[in-house]
Amino acid sequence: MPPQDRYVIAGGSGVLGRLLAAWWSRQGKEVVVLSRRADFSSEAARTVVWDGVSLDGWQRELDGAAALVNLTGRSVNCRYTARNRREILASRIDSTRVLGEALRRAEHPPPVWLNASTATLYRHSLDEPQDESVTEFVATPAAKDAFSIEVAQAWERTLWEADVPGVRRVALRAAMVFGRDPEGVFGVLQRLARWGLGGAMGDGKQMVSWIHETDFCRAIDWLIEHHELEGPVNLAAPGPLSNRAMMAAVRQAVGRRWGLPATRGMLELGAIFLRTETELILKSRYVVPTRLLASGFRFEFPEFRGAVGDLVGGSV
Ligand SMILES: NC(=O)c1ccc[n+]([C@@H]2O[C@H](COP(=O)([O-])OP(=O)(O)OC[C@H]3O[C@@H](n4cnc5c(N)ncnc54)[C@H](OP(=O)(O)O)[C@@H]3O)[C@@H](O)[C@H]2O)c1
């Protein structure tokens, strides 16, 4: 039997890593997950321990690999205390830097390196879709997004500064990935809606960019196969919608006709109790996938209602 192509997912024990590992494993690919946890196990992948900071033997997995995807990053779903800010930034910068170092030293580095970034990089926009042609990233005090934009820029800068001749690099500017994992964002929204808390958030006018989990995985495969695609790429469905419309569809998906709307003040208070930040729901993310569409990628789930209908196994 010919040797299988090896796909390495750094930070692959998280929501998106588990999704992608399962996707590739179903295709019969060999998947290696780099994790800090020796006890992380999965049927879809082989775990190799790293610390996300230094070279310590794990880099051998990159030699001869077909692709590297880096999904490492301390969760941003927390209060932005000084310590959490440090961890959010360092986990992304350190992992990206050390992967660049490993690729530089590899005898046969993979031809392509996809590194997570985020659609939150773009400005808070209510009226103008943001795509990869935008090069100025401006924070909006009311959206409290200065820190996230700073992190995203530093993260991408580290990727572009890596000295990795012959390795094609793509920054995955991913929107919220809607999938079946109860730990993911759709799981959280469904629980809120079931508890009767699925009303519009804030004034409900902020835009939400999202992508169905299948399209996320299909887009990753597409980026690996399409050698002409390099640089930043938005991973977001072509049909962003308002928070009000999104919550209406989520309520319908869980069979709730009504949900308590949450004012900005209520959300600020709730965020303190839930140890999170309102930016995650109040920032208007109006992000569209211009480069994917221009390259010929076709979304299986371009519209939100079709996407959530698929996820809950009904029509919405
Ligand atoms: N989910 C989304 O909708 C979405 C959207 C846009 C961008 N992103 C970005 O995509 C990446 C993956 O997202 P995800 O939802 O899969 O995240 P996740 O579930 O939080 O998983 C991220 C992984 O990063 C590793 N990690 C956490 N803290 C770390 C630290 N301090 N140092 C080194 N490694 C650390 C963990 O692996 P170990 O504990 O096994 O080491 C964890 O499993 C993240 O960078 C996220 O910001 C996600």
Pocket of ligand 1 (CB under 6 A): 11, 13-17, 35-37, 40, 52, 71-76, 87, 91, 95, 116, 118, 174, 176-177, 185
For the chain, the maximum distance between any two Cα atoms, rounded to a whole number of angstroms, is 61
Atom of ligand 1 nearest to the CA of 120: 6
- HSE value, Cβ hemisphere, 13 Å, CA-based, for 66: 15
Would you tell me the crossing angle of helices 243-253 and 304-312 to the nearest 10 degrees? 30
End-to-end CA distance of the chain: 45
User: What residue ranges define each of the domains in the chain, with the CATH number in brackets?
Assistant: 6-178+211-237+288-293 (3.40.50.720)
pLDDT tens per residue, range 24-68: 999 999 999 999 999 999 999 999 999 999 999 999 999 999 999
Q: How far is CA 173 from CA 90, 104, 201, 233, 292, in A?
A: 18, 24, 24, 6, 11
Q: Is the pLDDT of residue 1 over 60?
A: no
- Phi/psi for 44 (5° steps) reads -85, -15
CB 40 within 8 A of CB 33: yes
Which residue out of 18, 34, 36, 87 has the highest number of ligand 1 atoms within 8 Å of its CB and is therefore the one to mutate? 36
**Ligand 1 centroid to 258 CA: how many Å?**
33
CB 193 within 8 A of CB 250: yes
* Of residues 69, 192, 72, 172, the one with CA closest to residue 120: 172
Q: Which residue has the tokens 């009767």?
A: 196
pLDDT tens per residue, range 218-242: 999 999 999 999 999 999 999 999 9
Does pTM top 0.95 for this prediction? Answer: yes
Please tell me the distance from the alpha carbon of residue 264 to that of residue 242, in angstroms, as a whole number. Answer: 16
Atom of ligand 1 nearest to the CA of 92: 45
pLDDT tens per residue, range 106-138: 999 999 999 999 999 999 999 999 999 999 999
Q: Quick one: pLDDT at residue 21?
A: 98
* Of residues 289, 283, 292, 288, the one with CA closest to residue 123: 283
**Ligand 1 centroid to 133 CA: how many Å?**
26
CB 48 within 8 A of CB 7: no
Which residue out of 16, 95, 120, 281 has the highest number of ligand 1 atoms within 8 Å of its CB and is therefore the one to mutate? 16
